[in-house]
Amino acid sequence: MANPNNPTGTWFNAHALDEFLSRIPERVIVVLDEAYVEYVEESHYPNGIDRLEKYPNLVVTRTFSKIYGLAGLRIGYGVSSPQIADVLNRVRQPFNVNTPAQVAAEAALPMTITSKIPAARTPAAWCRSPKACRRCILSRSLRGQLHCL
């Protein structure tokens, strides 16, 4: 599920997401695509990463393509339970994130693109949390360089 969605720009609120997640069996993995999370200003918008503790079957994906403008470098990340991350790490392609992309993403992490972006929604914010960092799926090769993933 994309929240917000592209190209419609529609989004669902925290109540709708929680209602949905509470009805999904634990064996079913829910992927929440938050490619545009940094653009949202609505107060009832739900941050998927905040729900990972409660819903271990949730995977949140984000990208450096949009707010950071790094689309050509093909770098994004997913956050999930360690169990799901472990399975994805086993099946992903080796060296799936190249060095220029890693360097650009590392530079982008602490950046605040505009003063409107709530700090808690940026990768830099959740990256500071050791607990959240252990959940990173896509950035195994990034991990060494960032010293925090």
Ligand X SMILES: Cc1ncc(COP(=O)(O)O)c(C=O)c1O
Residue ranges that bind ligand X, judged by CB under 6 A: 2, 6, 33, 35, 63, 65, 71, 76
Measured from the CB atom, is 13 or 65 closer to ligand X? 65
What three-state secondary structure class fits 78? strand
What minimum distance in Å lies between the beta carbon of 47 and ligand X? 16
Distance from C-alpha of 71 to C-alpha of 91, rounded to nearest angstrom? 23
Give the burial class of 140: count Cβ atoms within 10 A of its Cβ; 0-12 exposed, 13-18 middle, 19 or more buried: middle
Distance from C-alpha of 112 to C-alpha of 8, rounded to nearest angstrom? 26
What minimum distance in Å lies between the beta carbon of 60 and ligand X? 12
Distance from C-alpha of 116 to C-alpha of 12, rounded to nearest angstrom? 20
Measured from the CB atom, is 53 or 72 closer to ligand X? 72
Measured from the CB atom, is 66 or 143 closer to ligand X? 66
Measured from the CB atom, is 63 or 122 closer to ligand X? 63
Sheet holding 58-63, edge to edge: 30-33, 58-63, 76-79
What minimum distance in Å lies between the beta carbon of 64 and ligand X? 7
What minimum distance in Å lies between the beta carbon of 35 and ligand X? 3
